Amino acid sequence: MLLIASIGASAKSVVFTLNDGTKVYYLLSAEVSPMLRFKDGKMVVNEDTYEFTDIKNFYISEEDDPNAIEKVLAKHNVTFKANTIVINSDSVKIMKVYTLDGVEVKVPVEKSENVISVNLNGLERGTYLISTGDSSLKVLKK
């Protein structure tokens, strides 16, 4: 089962800016409260772990756009079928999957004309980054 977070527009978020420029959002609301812990030189948010050296800064924001994932989904016409991500876009030539610590994971990728399918069945439970070259998605595999 894949889970992609969709976040409300006017909500507050904890925003982490990583050294590579990536921004990671954690929604703050009455229904959602991320658990933030510091342990052994690392910052742990819910199930995600970040090395202190990988974090440029973090802050609470009402202005940053936590809906960026919806823009990526719409831009590339992304759909999900079981544990498969399907992108129907002529602008996407490759898709790569990475662990949160930046290690590329080999997964089956099928390409046909303007459609790329990535099967995540062989991956362990966890959070992964899916890169399309100009965009990325954070995906939780349960």
19-53 pLDDT tens trace: 887 777 777 766 667 788 888 888 888 878 888 88
The residue type of 98 is Y
Quick one: pLDDT band at residue 58, thresholds 50, 70, 90?
confident
In this structure, what is the dihedral angle of CA atoms 126, 77, 68, 70, given to the nearest 10 degrees? -90
Domains defined for the chain, CATH in brackets: 8-61 (2.30.30), 68-141 (2.60.40.350)
- Is residue 109 packed enough to be buried (19+ CB in 10 Å), middle (13-18) or exposed (0-12)? middle
Residue pair 129/85 in contact by the 8 Å Cβ criterion: no
Contact 48, 127 (CB under 8 A): yes
Whether residue 33 contacts residue 102, with contact meaning beta carbons closer than 8 Å, is answered with no
pTM for the structure as a whole: 0.49
